[in-house]
Structure 1
Amino acid sequence: MTPAALPAITVRGLTKRYEDFSIGAQDISFDIATGTCAALVGPPGSGKSTVAGILLGLLPPTAGSVTLAGGRSSSAVGAVLAPRGLHPRRTVRDHLRVYAAAAGCPDSRVRAVLETTGLTDRAGTVPDDLTPGEQTRAALATALLPDPRLLVLDDPVAGMQLGELSWLQGFLRNHTRRGGTVLFTAPSLVTALPIADYLVVLSNGSVAYQGSPARLRRRNPDRLVVASSSSIAIATALAARGFTDAVIRPDEQLAVADATEDDIVAAARAADVRLHRIVPDRIHPDRVLASLTRAAAPRPVGPGMPPPASLPYGVAR
C-alpha cells in the first residue's frame, strides 16, 4: 500500500471510561481514507467530542488505539474546537499573528488564511463583534496557519448562516480535492449530508452506522404510502413485477419503495384492488438518525470526573 493510499485516520477498539461515571466511548473502530470528508454524527452525549478529543491527544483513551497518518503535530493536524478559542481582547488579525509566531509561520500566512476564510474585512474585529459563523471561520483560520492536511472540526456548522454554510461546503470540498482529509462532528444528518463523503453515526458511545451517505439512503428510502381495499393483494402484484420492498404498516396501509405511482396503479388494476389514495412519505434525515440512535443520559459531573481536556483558547497541541 502506498503512503497516499494509507487511511488518514485509523481507530481500533477505542474506549473511554470515566472512573465511577459514564462511558464516553465503547469499542469504536473506523477508518477514514485520505482525501475524504467524514462526519461523526450523533445526538448530544453520543461520544462525538470524546472521540475527537482522543484523536487530537487531548483525552487519554482507556483502551484501543488511534493512528493519524501524519502524526499529531500542528503542521499535520488542524483543529477547531468548542469553544472556538479566540482571545477575547485581540482582533482576529492579532490573534492569528500570535499563533503564526508560535507555529513558526510567516505573516504572509496570516494574510493568506484571512483571505481563504473570507475574513479580510473583519480582521480588525474582536470576537464579541463577530457572528457565531465568523467566530468559527476565525478558529478555522487559526487551524489553517501551518497548512495541515488533516482537519478535525467540532460542529463547524453551528451558528452559520446559509451563505456561510455554502462557503464551508465549498472550502471542505476544495481541501479534500487537494488531497486533504476532514473529520467533523455534527448533531444532525441534515447538516452532515451536504458535506460528508463518509458517515460514522454514534449512539451512547458506540458505532450505530458507518458507511457512505448513499448506502444509508438506500437502507432508508422514501416511500409511497398506499391506502386500498387490499394491501396484501397489491404487495403480491408489485412483487410479481419486481418491486419487493413493500411493508404493511400498523394502520394496514402499504408503504412501497422504488415503485412509481404508475407502477402501483398498474399493480392494483391487475389485482382488481380499489385504490383510495397514494401519499408520498419523505424520510427526513434526522428521522433516520433517530432510528439509529437512542437518547443518551447526560454524563455525570463530580469530583472524580476529569475536566474536559483542552488548552488555552481551545487550540490543540
Structure 2
Amino acid sequence: MNAQKTPALAARGLTKHFGPVAAVRGIDLTVSAGTVAALIGPFGAGKSTVLRLLLGLSQPTSGTVELHGPARGMLAPRGLHPGLTARDHLRGYAAAVRLPDERVDQVLGLVGLEERAAARIKMLAPGERTRLALATVLLDDPRVLLLDEPFDGLDPTERARLHDLLRRHARRGGSALLTGESLAAALPAADQVIVLSAGTVTYQGTPTRLRRNHPDRLVVAASTPIALATMLAARGYTDAVMRPDGRLAIAEASEAQIRDAAIAAGVRIDAILADPIHPDRVLAGLTKTAVPSAIPAGVAPPQPYGIPR
C-alpha cells in the first residue's frame, strides 16, 4: 500500500463528556503516514482534549482511537523543571529510554538549541522552552508526533525552523498532528487542515480546497459593474460578487483579464484593489468567532494560505 495512504492514526466517533459538558462530539479524523495535519480552533474548542484522547491519557466517553506506530506527545504545560539545564533535562529522559548522550546532542541540534544546552530552563525564552519540549518528544525518533500548540511563543525564525522540521519528518515517512489557534501559523507545514469549533469538526480537507472555498479577490470600481460581471461570466469567470458599495469582488480572474473584459464590454475601470483573505479571517468564519483585529506576531499575509497560487 502507498505510504501516503497508510493511516498513522485514526479516530472514529470520538466523544468526551466532563459531567454534563461535551468537550468533543463525534470526531472522525485520519492522519496518513508521511503527512502533517493541523487541528485548529479557538481556545476551548477541544483541541487538547482530542490530543489527550489520542495519546491514551484520557478515555473517551465513546468512540475509538487507532495509532499505527510509536507516538509521542508534547502537551501544555510542558513539564520542564526550571532548575535543570536544557542538556540535563534531556539526559534524564534519554537515560529513561536507554538512549546515549549523543542522541541528546543530536536533538538539541535539530531544534537549534546547541548554544543554549548549558542554560537553566528558567533562563530560556518561551520559544526556547517550546523547542526543548519538542526535543524531548524527538529523543527516540517516534513515527507519530502529537504536538499541542507547538508554535506557542515562537518567533518567525523559530516558526520556520519548526515548519522545516515537520516537513522533513513527513518526508521520512513520519506523521504529525499539531494543534493551534492560528490557521496562518500552521498552514506552511500542513497537508491537511481540521478545524474544530465547540467540540465538533467544521472543516476537514487540504489547504488547497480551503483556498478554493475562500479565494482572494480583486475589488473593482467600474462604471457599469453589471456589464463587467456579465462579460467576465461569458469568459468563464463566474465568481463575482456585488458589494453594498457597488464594487465587484472578483475571484480567479487577474487584473489584466478584468481590464480586457472591461474593454470588450465598454466599461470604464476606476480602480482595482487587492483583497487577500488572511487565513485567520477564514478560521473566524468557520468557528463563528470574532475576526482577529491584528495578524498574530510573526505571521505575514503575502501568501495567505501558505501555498502557491
Q: State the one-letter code of the partner of 2:273.
A: V
Match of 1:299 in 2: none
- 1:89 match: secondary structure: coil
How many residues were matched structurally? Answer: 290
Q: C-alpha deviations, 1:157-216, integer Å up to 9, x for none?
A: 111112211211111111111111111111111101111111111111111111111111
Match of 1:80 in 2: 74
Gaps of 5+ in 2: 291-309
2:245 and 2:2 map into 1 onto residues whose CA distance is: 55
Determine if contact 1:6/1:34 at 8 Å carries over to the other structure: yes
- 1:93 match: secondary structure: helix
Q: C-alpha deviations, 1:72-111, integer Å up to 9, x for none?
A: xxxx112211111111221112211221122222333222
2:4 and 2:197 map into 1 onto residues whose CA distance is: 31
TM-score (norm 1): 0.87
Q: State the one-letter code of the partner of 2:123.
A: D
- 1:194 match: secondary structure: helix
Match of 1:302 in 2: none
2:2 and 2:258 map into 1 onto residues whose CA distance is: 51
- 2:12 match: secondary structure: strand
CA separation of 1:251/1:4 partners in 2, compared to 1, >3 Å: closer, same or farther?
closer
Within-5 A mapping of 1:200-219: 200-219=194-213
Instruction: After TM superposition, give the deviation of residue 4 of structure 1 in Å.
Output: 7.6
1:244 and 1:3 map into 2 onto residues whose CA distance is: 38
Higher relative contact order (CA 8 A, sep 6+): 1
Within-5 A mapping of 1:122-141: 122-141=116-135
Within-5 A mapping of 1:152-301: 152-295=146-289
Match of 1:313 in 2: none
Q: State the one-letter code of the partner of 1:44.
A: F
Gaps of 5+ in 1: 71-75, 297-317
Match of 1:303 in 2: none
Determine if contact 1:6/1:69 at 8 Å carries over to the other structure: no
Match of 2:307 in 1: none
1:4 and 1:259 map into 2 onto residues whose CA distance is: 33
Q: C-alpha deviations, 1:53-87, integer Å up to 9, x for none?
A: 111111211111111112xxxxx112211111111
CA separation of 1:244/1:109 partners in 2, compared to 1, >3 Å: closer, same or farther?
same
Within-5 A mapping of 1:14-29: 14-20=14-20, 22-29=21-28
- 2:195 match: secondary structure: strand
Q: State the one-letter code of the partner of 1:51.
A: V
1:249 and 1:47 map into 2 onto residues whose CA distance is: 36
Determine if contact 2:4/2:32 at 8 Å carries over to the other structure: no
Instruction: After TM superposition, give the deviation of residue 275 of structure 1 in Å.
Output: 2.8
2:187 and 2:156 map into 1 onto residues whose CA distance is: 15
2:277 and 2:240 map into 1 onto residues whose CA distance is: 15
Instruction: After TM superposition, give the deviation of residue 32 of structure 1 in Å.
Output: 0.6
2:5 and 2:192 map into 1 onto residues whose CA distance is: 16
Instruction: After TM superposition, give the deviation of residue 48 of structure 1 in Å.
Output: 1.0
The percent identity for this pair of structures is 55
2:24 and 2:254 map into 1 onto residues whose CA distance is: 43
The root-mean-square deviation of aligned C-alpha atoms, in Å, is 1.7
Instruction: After TM superposition, give the deviation of residue 39 of structure 1 in Å.
Output: 0.6
TM-score (norm 2): 0.89
Match of 2:115 in 1: 121
Instruction: After TM superposition, give the deviation of residue 122 of structure 1 in Å.
Output: 1.5
Q: State the one-letter code of the partner of 2:261.
A: A
CA separation of 1:117/1:269 partners in 2, compared to 1, >3 Å: closer, same or farther?
closer
Q: State the one-letter code of the partner of 1:276.
A: D
Q: State the one-letter code of the partner of 1:6.
A: T
2:128 and 2:216 map into 1 onto residues whose CA distance is: 36
Instruction: After TM superposition, give the deviation of residue 5 of structure 1 in Å.
Output: 4.4
1:53 and 1:143 map into 2 onto residues whose CA distance is: 15
CA separation of 1:3/1:195 partners in 2, compared to 1, >3 Å: closer, same or farther?
closer
1:31 and 1:190 map into 2 onto residues whose CA distance is: 22
Determine if contact 2:3/2:33 at 8 Å carries over to the other structure: no
- 1:159 match: secondary structure: coil
- 2:188 match: secondary structure: coil
Q: State the one-letter code of the partner of 1:293.
A: T
Within-5 A mapping of 1:44-59: 44-59=43-58
CA separation of 1:10/1:234 partners in 2, compared to 1, >3 Å: closer, same or farther?
same
1:69 and 1:256 map into 2 onto residues whose CA distance is: 45
CA separation of 1:2/1:255 partners in 2, compared to 1, >3 Å: closer, same or farther?
closer
Determine if contact 2:4/2:34 at 8 Å carries over to the other structure: no
